[in-house]
Amino acid sequence: MTAPHSDDAPATGDLWRLPATRIAAMVAARQVAATDVARSALRRLEAVNPAINAVVECRPDAVLEAAAAVDAAIAAGEPAGPLAGVPVTIKVNIDQRGYPTTNGLTLQHDLVAKTNSPVVDSFLAAGAVLLGRTNTPAFSYRWFTSNRLHGATHNPRRRGLTPGGSSGGAAASVAAGIGAVAHGTDIAGSIRYPAYACGVHGLRPSFGRVAAYNASGRDRAIGAQLMAVSGPLARTVGDLRLALAAMARPDSRDPWWVPAPLQGPPVPLRAALCLRPDGMDTAPALQDALLDAAATLRDAGWMVDEVEALPPIADAAAVQVTLWMGDDYAGQAAAAEREGDPGAIAALAGQKDFAASIGLPEFSQALVRRIGIAREWLAFTDRYPLVLLPPSAELPFEDDLDLRSPADYRRVWTAQMPMIGLPVTGLPGLTLCTGLLADGTPTGIHLVAGRFREDVCLAAAEAIEARRPPLTIAEP
């Protein structure tokens, strides 16, 4: 079925350019067929993916079959779903039935999932069409995306910059117009940093908002259980909002899922702006982006106070690394050696001395410290419902900077304190692209709100987005 186009409707070949909100509305109204959207998305993937290697597995026949099922359901009068016909990519570290959950590992290239993760089931229930599987670094360890199984993903905005990690494939794909929404995961910045690096938007939901489970592997260690979440990346804030609503579906396979409302009670339009949290040496371009965003929010009716300090971030990062590296570090290092991936080996080797200092008392104390840090942040967000801070101390790194020297490795980790520390709080965080520098380097800001108040982050991000030009689609 292909419906006639209105004067302002795009040609079917350009449907890949549309945001998810418009695609879903048009498909539900039978103004365009989901199969036409899928064909357009597949053509875009074929045109640009070879240059960036963002999508590492795509089965076009399955994509078209899924789109045809959406069209058939709508024709039969069934509910279309909030993501009807929207092309969505899935990161290779979660289960999608019939596909290997590789997590960027040669060791897992035959680990074919027998069931879907809750995230995949949620997208399908919402009417999305799953377009392909996106790349991640080995073990999803780094803020750079390459591995021995799938190769390297390149930044579509500016080759030579990292696409971010671990959801580097997700961010690169959506930045280049391969799908309207991308799924990502974030334990220490793996949604927020790739979105920032590739010049799109990324939302890390509150812990407990989006159900997660991989039947293909064993349950994760406590640190990962408490810090890792799934969330969306997109080119518009409205698409983040739409995708989050679809992803926040109950699933009994995740005991930590919380039935919190997506829209909370009204809060004062008051924000705290911190340019140098914990004394961080923030790049001037990022300080400028934050100051401009603050001015934009003031224009939208917000009161924005510049503050010198925030609740702990560096201490929170130390807790994060303790819980991550203090649980079977030797086993993690041995697995990296078996895989033979240079990035994974270096990521763990750089923490060897710290890991050696962690015993049961230190691990237990980190768990105790976690609740105190979370309490401080919750109290702060009671006073300031929104916090603006840098996504990183630096503009997006040159690719593989962490592998050049021990000093560069430490530079990367030091710059990433907001990425590493904030998951300890359990709060939502959103990185919003604020534009591109003259050389194509993306800039952005980081928005944080109270627990389960993604709506506050999204409302502020929409107020900023509405007062600046829309994001362009990258042409790699």
DSSP 205: P
Residue 59 corresponds to which amino acid?
R
Tell me the C-alpha distance between 130 and 113, whole Å: 15
Tell me the C-alpha distance between 101 and 81, whole Å: 26
Domain ranges of the chain: 12-465
C-alpha separations of 269 from 13, 242, 303, 387 in Å: 42, 23, 6, 11
- Smallest CA-to-CA distance from 313 within 159, 200, 399, 427 is with 427
Q: Which residue has the tokens 């069934």?
A: 78
Tell me the C-alpha distance between 406 and 61, whole Å: 46
Q: What class is the 12-465 domain?
A: alpha beta
Point out which residues pair with 233 in neighbouring strands: 182, 202
Enter the pTM of the model.
Answer: 0.96
How far is the first Cα of the chain from the last one, in angstroms, to the nearest whole number? 32
Per-residue pLDDT reduced to its tens digit, 206-235: 999 999 999 999 999 999 999 999 999 999
Contact assessment for residue 195 and residue 433, using Cβ atoms and an 8 Å cutoff:
yes
Q: Which residue has the tokens 């910045």?
A: 189
b/e 331-355 (16+ beta carbons within 10 angstroms → b)? ebbebbeebebebbbbbbeebeeeb
Hey, is 474 helix, strand or coil?
coil
DSSP 107: G
Point out which residues pair with 387 in neighbouring strands: 272, 448
Residue 191 corresponds to which amino acid?
I
Point out which residues pair with 443 in neighbouring strands: 435
Length of the chain in residues, anyone?
Answer: 476
Q: What percent of the chain has pLDDT over 90?
A: 97
C-alpha separations of 438 from 156, 158, 175, 329, 442 in Å: 15, 11, 18, 43, 9
Strands 55-57 and 129-134: antiparallel
C-alpha separations of 61 from 55, 226, 338 in Å: 16, 38, 35
Per-residue pLDDT reduced to its tens digit, 396-439: 999 999 999 999 999 999 999 999 999 999 999 999 999 999 99
Q: Which residue has the tokens 């690719």?
A: 399
pLDDT averages per 10-residue partition of the chain, 476 residues: 44 91 98 98 98 98 98 96 98 98 98 98 98 98 97 98 98 98 98 98 98 96 94 98 98 97 98 97 98 98 98 97 93 96 94 94 96 98 98 98 96 97 98 98 98 98 97 97
Residues marked active site are found at: 91, 166, 190
Structure tokens at 44: 């875009």
DSSP 254: -
Tell me the C-alpha distance between 444 and 432, whole Å: 5
Cα 267 to the center of its chain, rounded Å: 26
Contact assessment for residue 247 and residue 184, using Cβ atoms and an 8 Å cutoff:
no
Point out which residues pair with 161 in neighbouring strands: 159, 398
Q: What angle do CA 37, 232, 2 make, to 5 degrees?
A: 10
Task: Give the number of C-alpha atoms closer than 13 A to the C-alpha of residue 455, restricted to the C-beta side.
Answer: 13
Residue 432 corresponds to which amino acid?
L
By CB atoms closer than 10 A (0-12, 13-18, 19+), residue 114 is: exposed
Tell me the C-alpha distance between 310 and 320, whole Å: 18
Taking the alpha carbons of 153, 155, 156, 160 in that order, is the dihedral positive or negative? negative
DSSP 229: E
Tell me the C-alpha distance between 243 and 222, whole Å: 27
Q: Which residue has the tokens 């640009």?
A: 48
pLDDT at 6: 39
pLDDT at 8: 54
Point out which residues pair with 182 in neighbouring strands: 89, 233
By CB atoms closer than 10 A (0-12, 13-18, 19+), residue 461 is: buried
Q: Which residues contact 421 (CB under 8 A, 6 or more apart)?
A: 312, 313, 314, 315, 316, 317, 319, 320
Taking the alpha carbons of 126, 130, 131, 132 in that order, is the dihedral positive or negative? positive
Contact assessment for residue 374 and residue 422, using Cβ atoms and an 8 Å cutoff:
no
DSSP for 352-365, written as a single string = HHHHHT--HHHHHH
